[in-house]
């Protein structure tokens, strides 16, 4: 079980307001050119992934979200790290304390059966990914890629 008090924190909790805790999971994927997968959504640009549904594990979340956001079937690897991201959701009009689990994943192939029309996949180098990514925690993961994972238990 993750001790979230030990995770790196990005952003700030809202002054005088309570942020809703939102377990989330994201995939770190690279193609054969070393480019990272990033997804542009109506709310911003992120690593593939998102909020965990009740009862889902981080691995199940990134598999589902990558199908929906990227049209890709993936296999999750063994690397994992965590971070907390405070963020405002315009769509839900609330602050979230996103408890993010990041995992590595490998693309198995296309699967557009559940692809969402309002998401756009880009493959970009690490510098460009960090420029594009909305959440600082996602850029932190990309910048630190290849270094030992930070985990808490």
Domain boundaries, the chain: 4-143
Termini Cα distance of the chain: 5
With residues binned 3-state (H G I as helix, E B as strand, rest as coil), the percentages for the chain, rounded to 5, are 20, 40, 40
Q: What pTM was estimated for this model as a whole?
A: 0.94
Q: Report DSSP letters for 9-49, one per residue.
A: EES-PPTTSPPEEEEEEEEE-B-TTSPEEEEEETTEEESSE
pLDDT in the model for residue 149? 63
**Count of all residues that appear for the chain in the document:** 153
pLDDT in the model for residue 33? 97
With contact defined as beta carbons under 8 Å apart, do 58 and 66 qualify? no
In this structure, CATH architecture of domain 4-143? Alpha-Beta Complex (3.90)
Angle at 85 between CA 53 and CA 41, to 5 degrees: 65
pLDDT in the model for residue 13? 86
Taking the C-alpha atoms of residue 41 and residue 121, their distance in angstroms, rounded to an integer, is: 9
pLDDT in the model for residue 153? 47
Q: Which of 127, 40, 142 is CA-nearest to residue 81?
A: 142
Beta strand pairing status for 44-46 and 94-110? unpaired
Taking the C-alpha atoms of residue 106 and residue 74, their distance in angstroms, rounded to an integer, is: 5
pLDDT in the model for residue 151? 58
pLDDT in tens, the chain (153 residues): 789 999 999 999 888 888 999 999 999 999 999 999 999 999 999 999 999 999 999 999 999 999 999 999 999 999 999 999 999 999 899 999 999 999 999 999 999 999 999 999 999 999 999 999 999 999 999 999 976 665 544
- The single-letter DSSP state of residue 53 is P
């Amino acid at each position: 079980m993750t001790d979230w008090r030990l995770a790196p924190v990005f952003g700030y909790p809202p002054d005088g307001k309570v942020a809703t805790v939102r377990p989330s999971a994201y995939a770190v994927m690279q193609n054969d050119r070393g480019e990272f997968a990033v997804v542009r959504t109506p709310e911003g640009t992120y690593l593939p992934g998102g909020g965990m549904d009740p009862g889902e594990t981080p691995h199940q979340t990134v598999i589902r979200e990558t199908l929906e956001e990227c049209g890709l079937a993936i296999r999750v690897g063994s690397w994992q790290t965590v971070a907390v991201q405070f963020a405002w959701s315009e769509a839900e009009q609330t602050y979230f304390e996103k408890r993010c689990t990041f995992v590595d994943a490998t693309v198995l192939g296309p699967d557009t059966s559940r692809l969402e029309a309002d998401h756009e996949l880009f493959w970009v180098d690490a510098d460009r990914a960090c420029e594009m990514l909305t959440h600082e925690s996602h850029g932190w993961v990309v910048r630190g890629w290849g270094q030992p994972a930070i985990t808490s238990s």
